[in-house]
Amino acid sequence: MSKQDNSFRVGMSAFGAIFFIFGFATTFIVTLSAPIKEIFGLSEFGAQLLASAFFIAYPIMSIPTGKLIDRIGYKSTVIAGLVLMALGSFIYIPASRLPSFPIFLLGTFVLATGVVFLQVAANPYVTAIGPEKSASSRLNLTQALNSIATMIAPWLISVAIFRGLNPLSPDYALEAAEKVPLPFIIMGIGVILVAVILMSIKLPVIAAEKKEKKSILKYPHVVLGALAIFTYVGAEVGNAGLIVNYLKKSLMMTGEEASTYAAIYWGGAMVGRFFGSFMFSGISVSKKITYAIPVLILALVSGAFVTGWNWNIGGVFLGVAFANFLIMQIGTGKAAKTLAIFALVAAALDLLTTFTTGNVALWTIISIGLFNSIMFPNIFSLAVKDLDNAELSSASGLINSLILGGAIIPPIMGGVADNFGYTWAFIVPAICYLYIFFYAIRGAQIRK
């Protein structure tokens, strides 16, 4: 193995782990809104403020983080982000013991600031570390690792927080609050260990090109791409944030059971991104089909696992995953075309959730995760296409700042749910997906 190949593998392995870490943290916070609603007796709008406290860190910290990368480099920025994540995690201990919702929000913001450091550094690093033509494939692979974590997080909430609780108990809220700190203590210790390990290894350096560059705002495809990220994150997080309470109300599920279906929603993103990791590469069709088989098996096993080894549910998830793979073939491995198709399907599924009930509505909302799968990496790769290395960190800062959608769309959906019912709230993300469709077919091609 050449030194260059070994350097590439080390860099991809390290940042694969980083994607896993911030994926777990993000989804854990989003899904935590359901028990938080119970602990503090909040409205759905109030519960979704937890997501707002997390995603508001993106517009505040993303552009400064891009500048920080230019000063201290990708590796040091990631280490700083891990330390901030640990600090935020430990703030949840007093927040849960009191309990205090404002301290919950403070801990969430500090943890989110650490996640911003990781995400702003990770996406351009993975884009720049290899050939531009395979950038979408690499981002889909690292996002797939991110999605393994996003599937684990809701399942962990169902086990660590909801399991064993009696919703009819007068001490339900206090007992739920007492169960919150342990996962955060484990997370805090874990990210500190990763930071120590990262300090001891040498990563390949992505050098900035020394030349004068235009303002990122002069590139329409970058600005429109940032808006696409706004709508994508808002829709993904808004759907996920309402799933647990929607299923509890519409299908009379327990919190533990509803959280397992939230895990399947996020598991769909995992499966779809594994598909995307080879569908957007240059390998042959026969190899793509061969690689799809273990991913489909993963869908079957993971769907069964999070639901207590219910193979019937695993089988349904397998069927939906297979449909996702077939629809992905229509995109013929092209990032923009596949993004457009997936955005239309996701919009249709949200609308079906609004106008159907029972198991149909259950699987339409859960299946959206599969079609969210390739959106972030494909939007990002389209938005930074044709930029040089000197512009990547600035573009990443702008794009990641528009993850603000995760702070805006969920409370809007919560307000709609409070006033008109949960089903009508899913019209909001449907509109978001239609903008992503526009970006895929037109916005990404605008250069002047």
**Residue predicted with more confidence, 412 or 182:** 412
Please report the pLDDT score of residue 1 as a whole number.
Answer: 44
Tell me if residue 307 falls in helix, strand or coil: coil
pTM score, two decimals?
0.80
**What distance in Å separates the CA atoms of residue 208 and residue 384, rounded to the nearest whole number?**
15
The residues spanned by each domain of the chain are: 3-445
DSSP for 144-167, written as a single string = HHHHHHHHHHHHHHIIIIITT--T
Q: What digits encode the pLDDT tens for the residues 72-81?
A: 888 889 889 9
Residue range 281-306: mean pLDDT, rounded: 90
State the CB neighbour count (10 A cutoff) for residue 94.
Answer: 15
Dihedral angle of Cα 50, 51, 55, 60, to the nearest 10 degrees:
-30
Taking CA 347 as the corner, what is the angle to CA 274 and CA 331, rounded to the nearest 5 degrees? 45
Q: How confident is the model at residue 103 (pLDDT cuts 50, 70, 90)?
A: very high
Phi and psi angles of residue 56, each rounded to the nearest 5 degrees, phi first:
-65, -20
Fold classified for 3-445:
Growth Hormone; Chain: A; (1.20.1250)
Query: What is the structure's pLDDT at 359?
Result: 92
Residue holding tokens 């919702």?
Answer: 101
The 3-state DSSP composition of the chain as helix, strand, coil percent (nearest 5) reads 85, 0, 15
Q: Residue 420 has what pLDDT?
A: 95
Q: What is the DSSP string of 383-401?
A: HTTT--HHHHHHHHHHHHH
Check residue 252 and give left, alpha or beta (phi > 0: left; psi -120 to 50: alpha).
left
Which amino acid is residue 434, in one-letter code? L
Question: Would you state the pLDDT for residue 299?
Answer: 95
Question: What average pLDDT is seen over the chain?
Answer: 86
Alpha-carbon distances, residue 249 vs 23, 307, 366 (angstroms): 27, 19, 16
| C-beta atoms surrounding 435 within 10 Å | 19
